[in-house]
Amino acid sequence: MKIALIQMRSGTEIAANILAASKAITQAAKAGARFIATPEMTHLLEKDPKALRAKVRPQDQDLGVKAFSTLAADLGVTLLIGSLAIKRPDGQIANRSFVFGPDGLVAARYDKIHLFEAAISTRETYREADTYTAGDTAIIAPVGELNLGLSICYDVRFADLYRGYAQAEVDMISVPAAFTTATGKAHWETLLRARAIETGAYILAPAQGGKHEDGRQTWGRSMVVDPWGKVIAKLDHNKPDILFADIHPKKVASARAMIPAWRS
């Protein structure tokens, strides 16, 4: 199966981000991709809590959910929107992945379980828990005849989530991200390859990249890692772009047969 990862530089205007993502998704579909994935916070990167709360909407009112549902149906593809900021019924905010099937319906959704907390420097600190509410459930989504385990960004540091996906024998695991430049340079590829090796699954990691309107800087370098831990496709920059790769399910079975550590 041919897949595509969309690398973005999302800003603070929802409509502009939806338009940029939609153009890239359409281009990827026209190039033959049947599964297309976007990064974390596809339609809004806004670090100011007050501004964020003013812009988020419930799922049934969110402009991104509506636009990407229609786009998946129009293009006839399975579409993973890495995440959107969604207002929950309790008024809190979820960092939520959506999988839209070729019929445009929501096939699965996943709320980020592990919320980012880091003190990169005295000037760069993050506490997602101050703004977002964590999810508590691992989710597996159908992608044609394959199964996809869902995760988001900081989740990649918590191996237990991925162990569960390996034991469920998923074929692929998504890691849409907005990694900081500092942590990305140090840990991004190492963590992704480790998760592939220990699960025997493809790791699909579409990323945000560059300097964003809200001031943060993200690492980019979207990549696909095969079940043996080999990087088979990678962008070597942090600019908006599209990354293509081919998924071969037999490689999953082969890797797990050779080293069945995932059964432990």
Catalytic residues: 40, 112, 153
Distance CA 20, CA 8 (A): 8
Which of 196, 132, 184, 197 is CA-nearest to residue 7?
A: 184
Distance CA 234, CA 175 (A): 14
- Asked whether 228 and 251 are in contact (CB, 8 A), the reply is yes
**Token duo for residue 198:** 């220990």
Distance CA 184, CA 235 (A): 13
Total Cβ atoms within 10 A of residue 56:
21
